[in-house]
Amino acid sequence: MKHVPNILSISRIVLLLFLFFTLHNPLLFSVIYLFCGLSDILDGYIARKTKTQSDLGARLDSIADFLLFTVITVSVILWIGEKGRVFLPFVIAVALIRLANIVMAALKYHTFAMLHTWGNKLAGFLLFITPLFLLYQNTQILWPVCVVAALSAAEESLIHLTSPTLDLNRKSIFKF
C-alpha cells in the first residue's frame, strides 16, 4: 500500500503525456482527464492516510501538476482560439513566474520544488474545471483562473524569498 500514491502520480504523468494527443477526441480526453483529476486527489489522500508521505511523492505530484497545467493551458489556447488572445499575457506572466520559482528553488535549496500552498491548490482546482466550462464556450471562467494563478505564483515567490528552509507542504505565506 505504501507505493500506491507514487504509482498513482506516475500513472498521472504518463496519462498526461497521452492526454495532449486526445484534444480532438472529447470522449477520450474527458475519460483520461477525469482519471488524472481523480488520481491527483487520491495520491495525496492515500499518502496522508497511510502515513507514507515522502519527498519523492511530493516531487512526483509537483511534476504531474506542472504537466497538467501545461496540457490544460495548451488545450485552452487551442480550443478558444482568437477569444483567448486577451488571456495570453496572463498565461505568459504566470508561466514565467512559475519558471522563476523553480529556478529560485533550485538555486536556493538545490532541488526541484513546487509548493503545495492553498493558493496553488485553488489555482489548480480552477484550472482543472476550466475545460468543463469551455465545453459550453464560456470563457468567463478564465478571468478568475488567471487572477488566482498569478496571486498563487506570487505567493510562492514570496515564500521562497523569505523561507530559510524548503517546506514543500507549506500552506501559505502566513504561518498559522
| CATH number for the domain that contains residue 126 | 1.20.120.1760
- pLDDT the model gives residue 136: 66
Whose cell is 498563487? That residue is 152
Nearest to 64 by CA among 136, 8, 3, 119: 8
26 part of a folded domain: yes
19 part of a folded domain: yes
167 part of a folded domain: no
- The C-alpha atoms of residue 121 and residue 144 are separated, in whole angstroms, by 14
Q: pLDDT (tens digit, 9 = 90+) per residue, 104-134?
A: 999 999 988 888 899 998 998 898 888 877 7
Q: pLDDT (tens digit, 9 = 90+) per residue, 155-165?
A: 999 999 999 99
Q: What is the pTM of this model?
A: 0.77
Q: How many domains does the chain have?
A: 1
Q: Residue 27 — very low, low, confident or very high, per pLDDT cuts 50/70/90?
A: confident
84 part of a folded domain: yes
117 lies in which domain range? 4-162
8 part of a folded domain: yes
- The C-alpha atoms of residue 24 and residue 75 are separated, in whole angstroms, by 10
- The C-alpha atoms of residue 45 and residue 166 are separated, in whole angstroms, by 22
Q: Contact, 142 vs 130, CB < 8 A?
A: yes
- pLDDT the model gives residue 135: 66
53 part of a folded domain: yes
169 part of a folded domain: no
Q: Residue 56 — very low, low, confident or very high, per pLDDT cuts 50/70/90?
A: confident
Q: Compute CA distances 144 → 11, 117, 133, 150, 172, whole Å.
A: 29, 17, 13, 10, 19
Q: Which set of grid coordinates corresponds to residue 29?
A: 480526453
78 part of a folded domain: yes
Q: Residue 91 — very low, low, confident or very high, per pLDDT cuts 50/70/90?
A: confident
In the chain, what percentage of residues exceed pLDDT 70?
Answer: 97
